[in-house]
A and B are shown apart, each in its own frame.
Chain A
Amino acid sequence: MSARVTLAITARVLTQLRRDHRTLAMLLLLPCLLQTLLWWIFDATPLVFDRIGPALLAIFPFFVMFLVTSITTLRERSSGTLERLFTMPMGKLDLLVGYALAFGLVAAAQAALVTGVAVGLLDLDVRGPVGLLGVVGVADAVLGTALGLFVSAFARTEFQAVQFLPAVVVPQILLCGLLVPRERLPRVLEVISDVLPLSYAVDAMEHLATTTGTADVWRDVAVVAGFTLAALALGAATLRRRTD
């Protein structure tokens, strides 16, 4: 692995994003608009917004980065640029870490904006340190990036890549405690939710919203980071220099 190549990839991905104004605007503004929509929906019952608002702070970055990364990586595979890079002095980790860094930076901007809107404008009730909301948001986004990199190996077309959203992401959203608190799920589903990474991301946000202690939050962030590393390792295994 080389810092020169990794940073070259990060800079390139960011330049591509900067050129694509529409995608950039959607990445940064859509989560804020959706959070506002949610606040409006629960206008009559602000307590409900306080309960599910934090969960959505975890879900947006994960969802968006998963989608963006799986499509971008698939494009890299199908356009021939990945094959070209593999004939150059680039390691697999250069590519994976380069992507994770670029999207992690975008995620940090996204998390800062949506947290600012939720806490500053929409009066989302948060007991823990607000800055930590941003940290959890970035961790979720990098998790989404890592999973997106991994599943892109199993899609041959962009159409297939989009289908991984209902296959991989939606079940995690249904089981993460957003609809029904996890401990009240049927036992089998609760066990399944225990091994899904998004559950820990949402738990972290809920801890932050309801308590001032941060030990539980850091434990959840560590679990999310563990899942991220595992997904990156799996992603590295699917990147092959030699292909059919």
Chain B
Amino acid sequence: MVNSVIEIVGLRVVRGGRVVIAGLDLTVGPGVTGLLGPSGCGKSTLLRSIVGVQRVAAGDVTALGRPAGSAALRDRVGYQTQSSSVYDDLTVEENLRFFARVLGRPAAAVETAVEAVDLVSHRDQVVGRLSGGQRSRVGLAVALLGEPELLVLDEPTVGLDPVLRRDLWALFHRIAEGGTAVLVSSHVMDEAERCDQLLLMREGRILAHDTPAGIKERTGARDVEAAFLSLVQGEDAA
């Protein structure tokens, strides 16, 4: 790959005495990359390692050419955890204003972020009274505030209605066209088709890393879900 955004060599993560990731090598480039795999396969752990909040047993994780989590990256990487990670007792705008101040961004950035996630009409509402999907969009808006060069999103579309999911994927692509690398996790296989690049993950390992078309062609499967099954079977047989 010409210019890699994320480089991982020999990553090993142990949580509560259980090996979650046993030794993982990975290079992620620009565009929208989907990290797909079943719940509990280690997706969140991998994303947390990339943003530098995961305690790591061994290995090197580099983002934008610097060690993951280093101080120089903290206003260049946007991250959304699986929960919306915003303050329920503040309004949408108060949440964004607060995080913008922490990031040292002007008030105009709040405006742009609210519009990007289509929450302009809810900006004065307290987050705790919003629906789950709206809350998760507030979290996404916070991740967008810093105009990051790398955006790491942990299952941002879970539980959203199909129209909204389509809109969000369109937003991810618009962001990627602006030059930001976007890494999105999901356990819903039908979201795979919307990604430029796919990472299929199972039990702490990457089964495949290719375009959706490339993965289907290699396995001869009709959709990514079938391709995933065929990859798992091939692995179990080996």
Contact = CB atoms under 8 A, between A and B. Distances in A.
A19 B126 contact: yes
Interface string B57-89: 000000000000101001101011111111111
Nearest to B77: A87
Contacts of B104: 4, 89
A42 to B, nearest CB: 39
B102 A85 contact: yes
Contact of B90 (A16, A88, A243): A16
Nearest to A76: B87
Contacts of A5: 101-102
Interface string B109-122: 00000000000000
B61 to A, nearest CB: 11
Contacts of B142: 84
A168 interface: no
B81 A84 contact: yes
Given A8-B102, A242-B56, A89 B75 contact: yes
A68 to B, nearest CB: 14
B83 A242 contact: no
Report the contact-size class of chain B (Cβ under 8 Å from the partner). 35 or more
B85 A81 contact: yes
Contacts of B83: 79-80
A84 B95 CA distance: 12
Interface in B2-28: 15-16
Given A8-B98, A16-B90, A242 B54 contact: yes
Interface string A185-227: 0000000000000000000000000000000000000000000
10 pairs of A and B residues whose beta carbons are closest in the complex: A80-B85, A8-B101, A80-B81, A89-B74, A84-B85, A80-B83, A242-B55, A12-B98, A87-B79, A87-B51
Given A19-B89, A242-B56, A243-B55, 11 more contacts: A9-B102, A16-B87, A80-B84, A80-B85, A81-B86, A83-B81, A89-B75, A90-B74, A241-B53, A242-B69, A244-B15
18 contacts: A8-B101, A9-B102, A11-B98, A12-B90, A16-B87, A19-B89, A80-B81, A83-B85, A85-B102, A87-B69, A87-B79, A88-B74, A88-B75, A88-B99, A88-B102, A88-B146, A90-B74, A90-B102
